[in-house]
Amino acid sequence: MNVYIWDNIDGLTSNYHSDGGLVIVASTIEAAQVQATAEGLPTLPNPTRVLKCASKKEDPQVFVFPNAGCC
């Protein structure tokens, strides 16, 4: 498994500040895109970082970090 990290994606949420960060744990970038689509997220650009997991037993996961802004 890999950890795919996006520092900032425009249109990530429907909040007033619609950008935000994203982390997806998946076996491949293609699998990460499938997970993002299943979560209703936009098409993803290339990730900012990719980290290899030490454990192969991690489950696929999606973590959205919306930009809360100043409100």
Instruction: Give the residue extent of every domain in the chain.
Output: 2-66
Query: Residue 67: its pLDDT value, please?
Result: 82
Query: Residue 57: its pLDDT value, please?
Result: 78
Which amino acid is located at 69 in the chain?
A: G
pTM of this structure: 0.84
pLDDT in tens, the chain (71 residues): 999 999 999 888 887 788 889 999 999 999 999 999 999 998 899 999 999 987 777 788 898 888 876 65
Query: Residue 52: its pLDDT value, please?
Result: 92
Contact between residue 23 and residue 3 where contact means Cβ atoms under 8 Å apart = yes
